[in-house]
Amino acid sequence: MFDKKNILYNIDRQCLVIYLLLVLIGWVSIYAAVFDANHGSILDIDRNYGKQLLWIVTSFVLGSIILFVDAKFYSTFAYAFYIATMILLFIVLVVGRVVSGNQGWIDIGSFKLQPAEFAKFSTALALARYLSVSGIRMQSLSTKITSILIIGLPMGLILLQGDVGSAITYSAFILVMYREGLPGEILFFGALTVAVFVLTLLLPQQLLLIGLGCIAVLLSYFFRKQKSYILMILFGLVFSVGVVFGVDHVFTNVLKPHHRDRINNLLGKEIDLKGTGYNVNQSKIAIGSGGFFGKGFMEGTQTKYDFVPEQSTDFIFCTIGEEYGFLGSTIVIGLFIALLLRLLTLAERQRSNFSRIYGYGVAAIIFFHVAINIGMTIGLVPVIGIPLPFISYGGSSLWGFTILLFLMLKMDANRMAIIR
Amino acid sequence: MNVFFERKYVVQGIFILVGIVLLIKLFYIQVIDNKYVVSANSNVLRKLVIYPARGIVYDRHNKILVQNEPVYDLLVIPRQILPFDTSELCRLIGIKREVLISKLKKARSFSPVKSSIIEKQLSARTYATFQEKLFEFPGFFVQNRTVRKYPNAMAAHILGYIGEVDERVIEKSGNYYQMGDYLGISGIEKSYEEVLKGRRGVKNIMVDVFNRAKGSYEDGKYDTTALAGEKLICSLDLQLQQYGELLMRNKRGSVVAIEPNTGEILAYISSPNYDPNLLVGRQRGSNYSKLVQDELKPLFNRPIQAQYPPGSIFKIVQALVGQQEGVLTPQTVFPCGGGYRIGGLLVRCTHNHPPLNLEESIQYSCNAYYCNAFRKMIDQGPYSNPQEGFEVWRNRVQKFGLGTKLNIDLPNELDGLLPTQKRYDRIYGKARWKSSTIISLSIGQGELGVTPMQMANLMSILANRGYYYIPHLIKGIGERKIVKPEYTKKNYVDINPAYFETVINGMEKVVQSGTAYWSRIPNIIMCGKTGTVENPHGKDHSVFVAFAPKDNPKIAIAVVIENAGFGASWAAPIASMMVEQYLTGAVTKPKYYQERILEANLINPTEGKLKTKKGKQL
């Protein structure tokens, strides 16, 4: 069964097949989105699909290299990868090129490198390395602080670039920490924060405060027998009220105007279909008009005629939704969920803590991207400019996710050897 | 394996839950909610309207009366504009720079990617020079439309004109008409709008986000072709109409000529008139207001809207009704003695002559004869009181198409006036009137109003000896030359055909040896009747009605010249020349005779006040 000689035999085939399918779907979608009769060749390097083909081939090369390097190399040099990418994030702040408001690109020849995409796997490696050292317990405060620092450093640097979307993706690591013992309450309070945040923007402040008070009283009455619950509820109330007041400050003083607009748009507070709401509206029209079976390959009028902006990158899901309908959307989402669940299975079967934690990191990052990206194209979450893993056009992003995934595949293929 | 192993299930749960939430929302917007399909179509589909050409109108000999002329609307797509020479563009299309700039501004605020009209209806000539320079103005393009063109510049009052629809029309039509459509506003353009307009075609094309055309939608499956409007054959005789308009120059009045055995209108002249080409194209608005303000009222459609007391021509009706009522026979004689006296009332007769019989009464137009006949009919007839007699008389007169619309195929026709019992009851008190009170009616004066159309129709009735077809202008619709059924029905006036002979003989004598002697036509027997309509506001109106030839008549005609005096002096010669022209193709009257008519200027109002005003203006 297990043959350490042949890495291709040991590699998890489910993950590999899903990866290849997603990359293929991505390329076909990009081709359909930017196709133009004047540029016939699929290898045309001037067109996005031509370039993406190049990224795909190079990604396969990268993936192969990862598979043939000794697995120990990654755990040993986890911090080195981390530090290297942090340095890149610094450099980009100095020499980076500004593209649509974000200073996130380094020009290398005619190509642009986006270090934020690579910081994802290096952060996952570093976090796994830190948490896998024996004796480290998530319950201790210092562990929590150090973990948050590891995550917070790239997050902060990316925020400085002005790329709020990419920065937010790092919050996905909270799932990793949760798996490693972070109290469930923190996850709960995280969710509570988001809920209260949204409600604060939607409802008048006084009404919300009264509402929260009522809920607290009702819950207290319901759980009046359990003292610890009452305490929790009380804390939750104080916390929520704090969020309510904090949100106002964050919303008016911290967020950039275009983020504010996007959130307002999503919440339906401002409907401006020609301005900030244009993207989401057009994206919903494209996906919504796909119907159950879709319009067919290259028949999507909305994407073909450029009504949807950023359609080969952040809004690539529109092409899928429009041309393949609900059926195609379900298949793509199904593939992602299958990949994520498989990744959890792989993680849990690891013998080493390092590879298990890394596995959770991979799943968390991919999950966050998929949920936010698809959610934004159908108006469930605000427009946050992050790519759909393996599918969106972009070299850095495809390389980043390939490395992220293949490191896990390598560790998994090697899981029996590591304990010896 | 560690203590937090079971947390795997929580994470799995989160993944699956989020996946389901995404799918639910997708199912909702893709499968359940249809509005996105609609929005997608409105994004990408543009309906190009293909305007049909309006139907062409021919005269009875297939000569074109109304045709279409291409014009060019200049449109702009603001986003595609590059810097250009504004003064050059203004010079080429003939508009002011400020106008251009404000229109561009308006276009931009309407939509940067959709087209807006900058200037409508550039003529083919303007377009020809502009076309060569069009490439210098990116973003601008032209769209061709058609406007009406009247090659003969005549018959404006019946041809009418078209104009752009307004909000009210659009609403009323249940959005059938759309902004930018034209529709008939007057004349046959209006009454035959349904057949003239044709059917709009639609071409569905797909556009990209910059509104650039990307091809047809579903290979034109939903496209429709434009269907040109039906052609109309107008009953007018172009030559006769032109000749009539020439004769009526500088005169105020009407000429209506009808073919009696079909009801087809051969000539329809309302004078003063105007060139129908004035109400076409870019100058329509300003030309229209000029016409409205013109003191001569050229827009007034006299043949169906001017109402005159019929005067002596009404004696024809009286003679027929009298016979039918048994009051008159060809042998009936009434004394004249220069007028009709009853009590203190005197209805003067212009000619003092010996007692006349029925035929002579027509020939010499004896007033006294008809006063007597009227009294006999109303006061002394078999009816119990004058009111009953009046009612019988009135019903008989109404049958001649008097007092109500004839329902010809033109809009805004007026009824004319035929008083009712009620009216006299109101004036004199209930049943406190009799023939002597309303004696003016007997000779066609008083409370009577007859339009020139009704006069001509009366001649049709005489020509047909007892019936008429509703006069109409369109004798054939479309290739199949359909005639509206209401115009093929005989309308009987319920007078025994035998009673016509004496009257017609009298009318023959009017021309051969009576009041219209100078208007007789060699080799053609024309039967006519002159009328001089008393006009309390100024000089009398000159009226002449006739039909010819006497046997198997081909034309019935009515001529009214306002403020021109005796019927014999102006109306009769004009009628005679038109009849001769129509029947023989030439006029044999001596040159001086023709020139007298052609050069007469009877249009200046005789009223002192109006005259000075006019005098200054002219």
pLDDT at B218 over 80: no
User: At B591, which helix (H) or strand (E)?
Assistant: helix B591-599
Task: Verify whether the Cβ–Cβ distance B206 to A305 is below 8 Å.
Answer: yes
pLDDT for the residue B616: 35
Span B383-397, average pLDDT: 89
Residue of B nearest to A324 (CA): B30
Residue A306: list chain B partners with CB under 8 A.
Answer: 208-210
* CB half-sphere exposure, B539, CA atoms < 13 A: 17
Report the alpha-carbon distance of residue B286 to residue B579 in Å, rounded.
Answer: 38
Nearest alpha carbon to residue B77 among B42, B112, B118:
B112
Residue B209: list chain A partners with CB under 8 A.
Answer: 305-307
Nearest to B11 among A329, A344, A375 (CB): A344
- Is A321 in the B-facing interface, judged by CB distances under 8 Å? yes
Q: Are B242 and B154 in contact (CB under 8 A)?
A: yes
Residue B219: list chain A partners with CB under 8 A.
Answer: none
- Is A381 in the B-facing interface, judged by CB distances under 8 Å? no
Residue B544 in 3-state DSSP?
Answer: strand
pLDDT at A134 over 60: yes
Residue A340: list chain B partners with CB under 8 A.
Answer: 15
Q: Are B609 and B574 in contact (CB under 8 A)?
A: no
Query: To the nearest whole angstrom, how far is the Cα of A164 from the nearest Cα of chain B?
Result: 22
pLDDT at A85 over 50: yes
Query: To the nearest whole angstrom, how far is the Cα of A176 from the nearest Cα of chain B?
Result: 9
| DSSP summary character for residue B499 | G
**Encoded amino acid at A8, one letter:** L
Residue of A nearest to B39 (CA): A285
pLDDT at B612 over 80: no
**pLDDT-derived band at B479, boundaries 50, 70, 90:** confident
Task: Verify whether the Cβ–Cβ distance A291 to B37 is below 8 Å.
Answer: yes
Could you tell me the end-to-end alpha-carbon distance of chain A, in angstroms, rounded to an integer? 18
Residue of A nearest to B205 (CA): A301
Q: Please write the tens of the pLDDT for every residue from A307-342.
A: 887 788 889 999 999 999 999 999 999 999 999 999
pLDDT at B73 over 90: no
Residue of A nearest to B31 (CA): A291
Q: Please write the tens of the pLDDT for every residue from A7-47.
A: 667 889 999 999 999 999 999 998 888 776 665 566 666 77
Residue-by-residue DSSP string for A109-147: TTEEE-HHHHHHHHHHHHHHHHHHSTT--TTSHHHHHHH
Report the complex ipTM: 0.88
pLDDT for the residue B440: 87
- Is B423 in the A-facing interface, judged by CB distances under 8 Å? no
Could you tell me the end-to-end alpha-carbon distance of chain B, in angstroms, rounded to an integer? 115
Alpha helix locations (H) across B430-545? 452-464, 500-513
pLDDT for the residue A268: 57
Residue of B nearest to A379 (CA): B25
Query: To the nearest whole angstrom, how far is the Cα of B19 from the nearest Cα of chain A?
Result: 7
Nearest alpha carbon to residue A406 among A81, A4, A65:
A65
Nearest alpha carbon to residue B100 among B108, B89, B111:
B89
pLDDT at A108 over 80: no
Percent of chain B with pLDDT over 90: 41
Chain A residues 278-297 with a CB less than 8 Å from chain B: 282, 284-292
pLDDT for the residue B269: 95
User: At A187, which helix (H) or strand (E)?
Assistant: helix A184-202
Residue B7 in 3-state DSSP?
Answer: helix
Q: Please write the tens of the pLDDT for every residue from A147-197.
A: 999 999 999 999 888 888 888 899 899 889 888 888 887 777 777 777 777
- Is B36 in the A-facing interface, judged by CB distances under 8 Å? yes
- Is B224 in the A-facing interface, judged by CB distances under 8 Å? no
Span A83-98, average pLDDT: 86
Span B339-343, average pLDDT: 73
Nearest to B4 among A180, A304, A336 (CB): A180
Report the alpha-carbon distance of residue A400 to residue A122 in Å, rounded.
Answer: 10
Nearest to A375 among B2, B4, B22 (CB): B22
Q: Rg of the Cα trace of chain B?
A: 34
Query: To the nearest whole angstrom, how far is the Cα of B15 from the nearest Cα of chain A?
Result: 7
Task: Verify whether the Cβ–Cβ distance A289 to B37 is below 8 Å.
Answer: yes
Q: Please write the tens of the pLDDT for every residue from B301-324.
A: 999 999 999 989 999 999 999 999
Report the alpha-carbon distance of residue B369 to residue B376 in Å, rounded.
Answer: 11
Instruction: Tell me the range of A32-46, A118-132, A184-198, B219-233 where mean pLDDT is highest.
Output: A118-132
Strands (E), B428-567: 467-468, 474-477, 491-492, 527-533, 541-548, 555-561
| B300 C-beta neighbours (distance < 10 Å), count | 15
pLDDT for the residue A101: 62
CB-based contacts of A335, cutoff 8 Å, min separation 6: A18, A21, A22, A25
- Is A350 in the B-facing interface, judged by CB distances under 8 Å? no
pLDDT at B173 over 60: yes
Query: To the nearest whole angstrom, how far is the Cα of B74 from the nearest Cα of chain A?
Result: 27
Span B4-12, average pLDDT: 86
Spell out the SS3 assignment of B265-295: EEEEEEECCCCHHHHCHHHHHHHHHHHHHCC
Nearest to B23 among A179, A287, A333 (CB): A333
- Is B24 in the A-facing interface, judged by CB distances under 8 Å? no
Q: Please write the tens of the pLDDT for every residue from A258-293.
A: 777 766 666 655 555 555 577 888 888 899 998 899
Query: To the nearest whole angstrom, how far is the Cα of B81 from the nearest Cα of chain A?
Result: 21
- pTM of the predicted structure, to 2 decimals: 0.66
Chain B residues 180-199 with a CB less than 8 Å from chain A: none
CB-based contacts of B156, cutoff 8 Å, min separation 6: B150, B187, B273, B274, B275, B276, B279
Residue of B nearest to A286 (CA): B40
**Encoded amino acid at B98, one letter:** E
Q: Please write the tens of the pLDDT for every residue from A209-221.
A: 888 888 888 888 8
* CB half-sphere exposure, A211, CA atoms < 13 A: 11
Nearest to B36 among A288, A326, A344 (CB): A288
pLDDT at B174 over 60: yes
For the ranges A66-80, A100-114, B213-227, B233-247, the lowest mean pLDDT is seen at: A100-114
Distance of CA B424 to the CA centre of its chain: 33
pLDDT at A120 over 70: yes
**pLDDT-derived band at B383, boundaries 50, 70, 90:** confident
Task: Verify whether the Cβ–Cβ distance B26 to A287 is below 8 Å.
Answer: yes
Task: Verify whether the Cβ–Cβ distance B39 to A179 is below 8 Å.
Answer: no
Nearest alpha carbon to residue B328 among B339, B340, B316:
B316
Query: To the nearest whole angstrom, how far is the Cα of A289 from the nearest Cα of chain B?
Result: 4
- Is A366 in the B-facing interface, judged by CB distances under 8 Å? no
pLDDT at A135 over 90: no
pLDDT for the residue A42: 61
pLDDT at B86 over 50: yes
The token pair at B85 is 């020479």
Residue of A nearest to B206 (CA): A301
Q: Please write the tens of the pLDDT for every residue from B572-608.
A: 999 999 999 999 999 999 999 999 999 888 886 544 3
- Is B17 in the A-facing interface, judged by CB distances under 8 Å? no
Nearest alpha carbon to residue B202 among B212, B214, B216:
B216
pLDDT at A107 over 80: no
Task: Verify whether the Cβ–Cβ distance B23 to A329 is below 8 Å.
Answer: yes
Higher pLDDT, A278 or A402: A402
φ/ψ (deg, to 5) at B271: -125, 140
pLDDT for the residue B1: 45
Q: Are B258 and B456 in contact (CB under 8 A)?
A: yes
- Is A190 in the B-facing interface, judged by CB distances under 8 Å? no
pLDDT for the residue A420: 40
Percent of chain A with pLDDT over 90: 35
Residue B5: list chain A partners with CB under 8 A.
Answer: 348
pLDDT for the residue B460: 96
Residue B138, classified by CB atoms within 10 Å of its CB into exposed (0-12), middle (13-18) or buried (19+), is middle
- Is A107 in the B-facing interface, judged by CB distances under 8 Å? no
pLDDT for the residue B132: 84
Report the alpha-carbon distance of residue B444 to residue B446 in Å, rounded.
Answer: 7
Query: To the nearest whole angstrom, how far is the Cα of B199 from the nearest Cα of chain A?
Result: 30
